[in-house]
Amino acid sequence: MPRQLDDSDVLGSIRKYRKDVQTCLEKQASADPSVQGRMIIKMVIQRNGQPSRVTVQPDRFAASVVGKCMQRSVARWRFPRFSGPSMPVDFPVLVRGQ
């Protein structure tokens, strides 16, 4: 078991869930296509691979359809287990009105 996850571990796991991201983006485009910009998903990955403290920034996205959807989805994602301390991770999502 690795002590920490490296970038490729984290990115590989995020890529596995790209359908979740796309679903959330499509829901936002249907609800309000004027919501656009760069959204940051912040989380802490626990040693057991579970994300915790999932938040969405900036604040204008936190209450949006896409922000709420991403927060719920990311909380269900799973990453590889590791033996070291919990890892904070931020990743960007580009929201484009369609």
Determine how β-strand 37-45 pairs with β-strand 51-57: antiparallel
Is the overall model pTM greater than 0.85, yes or no?
Answer: yes
Residue range 43-63, pLDDT digits in tens = 999 999 999 999 999 999 999
Mean predicted lDDT score pLDDT of the chain: 96
Whether residue 98 has pLDDT greater than 90: no
Q: How many domains does the chain have?
A: 1
Q: Which residues span the domain enclosing 48?
A: 7-95
pLDDT score, position 1: 85
Structural domain includes residue 2: no
CATH of the domain at 65: 3.30.2420
Residue range 16-51, pLDDT digits in tens = 999 999 999 999 999 999 999 999 999 999 999 999
Structural domain includes residue 41: yes
Q: Is 73 exposed, middle or buried (0-12, 13-18, 19+ CB in 10 A)?
A: middle
Structural domain includes residue 33: yes
pLDDT score, position 97: 72
Structural domain includes residue 22: yes
